[in-house]
């Protein structure tokens, strides 16, 4: 025991020394023809990985790059076309700090502190927005709300103390927040993904995105020009695509955010549209199923069970055949082992400071302006939420809003959570609540059919 204690500082120093040498070698490869050194970069990633699952994931990436032309094209494009400052920040902040080093620390602290530490935080720095999109999930929040620079600065420091180096921002329109770039520059060791309507990214903003290096915008679109402008306003599609061109020319990394409705699901998942996005330079994307919350909720816009089943098959096909990493926020429950919200893997902070389980569950028991991050992670709402996860044994039904709506009603009642805006409680009752009950039952039947077909194919 005495010997172990005596040598522990030297062992820790050795580990740090090795990690620093590996990082130096990584940066050297990134500076000297990173495409040619792709294999070495991934090998060094395996050396840095502290969890066996991360080593296996890197090995899976290696195999996919070697055997799948679309994934190879995506990887080579990222390494070849990304500005060196952005590439260094992307690799160091997201791949190393957030994933390889951050997640093991989160797991360790979760065990020692007695509450779960998530992978990332979604925060709205401001409620202000220059658009008024029909059906916006955040459309019912107050537009004058804004989090101070000091509170966000303190939040990000608290997050890093817990091993959280990935911050996602929404709003409102984050590029209207006056301190955005100051925060990104001060926390240069963190990765920031920004959901944006894209209309604020002119040449000056595009230059600053590359200058700080750790910001990646994700542009919201509804499909082609007619459909996007119909929901977001005339000329918005043109402004978004022009912003994409600016960022691609400068070597920034950006993605897209698509809301799937029963009216546009075929359009946004078509080969033509996906090819258009990749040609514009999008490297990743998120697809969110329409949820009847926020401004003028309309349950009839939700995907039908048949359309959702189509998505469950179509999105994995796109991932394996197109050079873009595309996530399906609900149907990818099998990859995430169920719902990731409620502090399990992430949670949401509104511009007023209200702490919500996710962007779509508009209920809260705490405000970040009144408590620390550690206190938030021990909140009655998160505790109640997590003890019910997974909400369903079948991970194609992960969500307590659209798949197990009775679960959300129980959580709100048991935790004493309050709605964060007028009308938020409508998701639990009345016309919207009844629709969700019916739709969740219909989806459960569709999932049973999917499972039955899988069993038949296996047999």
Domain closes at, from 381, 400, 430 = 381
The tens digit of pLDDT for each residue in 209-259 reads 999 999 999 999 999 999 999 999 999 999 999 999 999 999 999 999 999
Distance CA 351, CA 456 (A): 49
Distance CA 247, CA 202 (A): 10
Distance CA 294, CA 385 (A): 21
**Is residue 75 located within the same domain as residue 181?**
no
Query: Is residue 401 in some structural domain?
Result: no
Question: What's residue 23's pLDDT?
Answer: 67
Supply the angle between the helices 305-321 and 69-81 in degrees, to the nearest 10: 70
**Is residue 317 located within the same domain as residue 361?**
yes
Supply the angle between the helices 69-81 and 38-48 in degrees, to the nearest 10: 90
Query: Is residue 313 in some structural domain?
Result: yes
Alpha carbon 161 to its chain's center: 21
The secondary structure of residue 281, as a DSSP letter, is T
User: DSSP labels for 421-455?
Assistant: STTGGGGGSHHHHHHHHHHHHHHHHHHHHHHHHHH
Number of domains in the chain: 2
**Is residue 128 located within the same domain as residue 91?**
no
**Is residue 90 located within the same domain as residue 232?**
no
**Is residue 90 located within the same domain as residue 173?**
no
Residue identified by tokens 């679960």 is: 407
Q: Considering only CA atoms, which of 117, 155, 192, 165 is closest in space to residue 367?
A: 155
What residues in the chain have per-residue pLDDT under 70? 1-20, 23, 26-27, 30-31, 457-459
User: DSSP labels for 145-205?
Assistant: -B--HHHHHHHHHHHHHTT--EEEE-SS-GGG-TTHHHHHHHTTTSEEEEEE-STT--HHH
**Is residue 87 located within the same domain as residue 133?**
no
CATH of the domain at 257: 3.20.20.70
**Is residue 83 located within the same domain as residue 194?**
no
Query: Is residue 262 in some structural domain?
Result: yes
Domain closes at, from 381, 410, 434 = 381
Identify the three-state secondary structure at position 207: helix
**Is residue 298 located within the same domain as residue 377?**
yes
Identify the three-state secondary structure at position 244: helix
Query: Is residue 442 in some structural domain?
Result: no
Distance CA 139, CA 291 (A): 13
Domain closes at, from 351, 381, 411 = 381
Model pTM above 0.75: yes
Q: Which residues of 131-152 are buried (b: 16+ CB within 10 A; e: fewer)?
A: eebebbbbbbbeeebbbebeeb
**Is residue 81 located within the same domain as residue 129?**
no
Question: What's residue 253's pLDDT?
Answer: 98
Question: What's residue 459's pLDDT?
Answer: 58
Query: Is residue 419 in some structural domain?
Result: no
Query: Is residue 445 in some structural domain?
Result: no
**Is residue 92 located within the same domain as residue 118?**
no
User: DSSP labels for 36-58?
Assistant: TTHHHHHHHHHHH--SHHHHHHH
Residue identified by tokens 């007028």 is: 422
Question: What's residue 408's pLDDT?
Answer: 97
Asked if 345 and 327 count as a contact pair (C-beta separation under 8 A), the reply is no
Query: Is residue 7 in some structural domain?
Result: no
State the residue range of the domain holding 72.
13-96
**Is residue 211 located within the same domain as residue 283?**
yes
Asked if 106 and 331 count as a contact pair (C-beta separation under 8 A), the reply is no
Question: What's residue 47's pLDDT?
Answer: 78
Question: What's residue 12's pLDDT?
Answer: 46
The H or E element spanning position 210 is: helix 203-212
The H or E element spanning position 314 is: helix 305-321
Task: Please report, for residues 121, 138, 280, 282, 297, the alpha-carbon distance to residue 228 in angstroms, rounded to integers and kept in the order given.
Answer: 28, 17, 16, 17, 18
**Is residue 232 located within the same domain as residue 136?**
yes
Q: Considering only CA atoms, which of 193, 123, 121, 180 is closest in space to residue 149?
A: 180
The secondary structure of residue 303, as a DSSP letter, is P
Bridge partners of 194, per DSSP, are 169, 217
Strands 191-196 and 284-289, bridge-based pairing = unpaired
Query: Is residue 217 in some structural domain?
Result: yes
Six token digits for residue 78: 């990222």
Alpha carbon 364 to its chain's center: 20
């Amino acid at each position: 025991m005495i010997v172990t204690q005596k040598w522990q500082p030297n062992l820790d120093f050795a580990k740090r020394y090795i990690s620093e040498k590996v990082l130096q070698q990584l940066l050297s490869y990134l500076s000297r023809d990173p495409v040619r050194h792709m294999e070495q970069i991934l090998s060094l990633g395996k050396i840095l990985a502290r969890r066996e699952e991360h080593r296996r994931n890197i090995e899976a990436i290696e195999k996919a790059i070697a055997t799948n032309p679309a994934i190879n094209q995506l990887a080579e494009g990222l390494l070849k076309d990304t500005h060196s400052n952005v590439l260094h920040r992307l690799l160091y902040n997201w791949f190393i700090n957030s994933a390889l080093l951050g997640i093991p620390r989160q797991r360790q602290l979760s065990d020692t502190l007695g509450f779960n530490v998530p992978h990332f935080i979604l925060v709205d720095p401001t409620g202000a927005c220059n658009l008024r999109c029909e059906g916006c999930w955040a459309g019912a929040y107050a537009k004058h709300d804004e989090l101070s620079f000091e509170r966000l600065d303190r939040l990000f420091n608290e997050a890093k103390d817990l091993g959280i180096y990935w911050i996602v921002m929404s709003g409102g329109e984050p590029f209207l927040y006056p301190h955005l770039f100051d925060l990104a520059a001060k926390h240069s060791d963190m990765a920031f993904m920004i959901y944006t309507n894209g209309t604020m990214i002119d040449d000056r903003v595009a230059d600053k995105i590359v200058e700080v290096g750790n910001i990646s915008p994700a542009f919201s679109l509804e499909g082609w020009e007619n459909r996007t402008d119909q929901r977001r306003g005339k000329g918005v599609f043109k402004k978004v695509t022009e912003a994409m061109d600016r960022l691609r020319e400068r070597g920034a990394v950006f993605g897209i955010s698509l809301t799937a409705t029963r009216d546009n699901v075929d359009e946004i998942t078509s080969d033509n549209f996906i090819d258009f996005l990749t040609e514009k330079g999008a490297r990743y994307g998120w697809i969110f199923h329409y949820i009847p919350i926020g401004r003028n909720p309309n349950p009839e816009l939700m995907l039908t069970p048949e359309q959702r089943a189509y998505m469950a098959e179509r999105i994995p096909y796109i991932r394996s055949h197109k050079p873009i990493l595309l996530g399906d926020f609900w149907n990818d429950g099998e990859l995430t082992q169920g719902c990731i919200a409620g502090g399990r893997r992430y949670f949401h902070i509104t511009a007023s400071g209200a702490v919500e389980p996710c962007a779509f569950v508009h209920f809260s028991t705490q405000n970040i302006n009144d408590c620390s991050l550690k206190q938030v992670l021990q909140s009655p709402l998160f505790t109640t939420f997590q003890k019910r996860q997974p909400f369903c044994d079948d991970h194609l039904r992960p969500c307590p809003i659209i798949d197990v709506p009775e679960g959300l009603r129980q959580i709100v009642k048991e935790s004493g959570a309050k709605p964060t805006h007028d009308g938020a409680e409508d998701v639990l009752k009345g016309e919207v609540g009844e629709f969700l009950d019916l739709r969740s039952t219909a989806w459960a039947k569709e999932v049973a059919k999917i499972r039955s077909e899988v069993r038949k194919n296996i047999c």
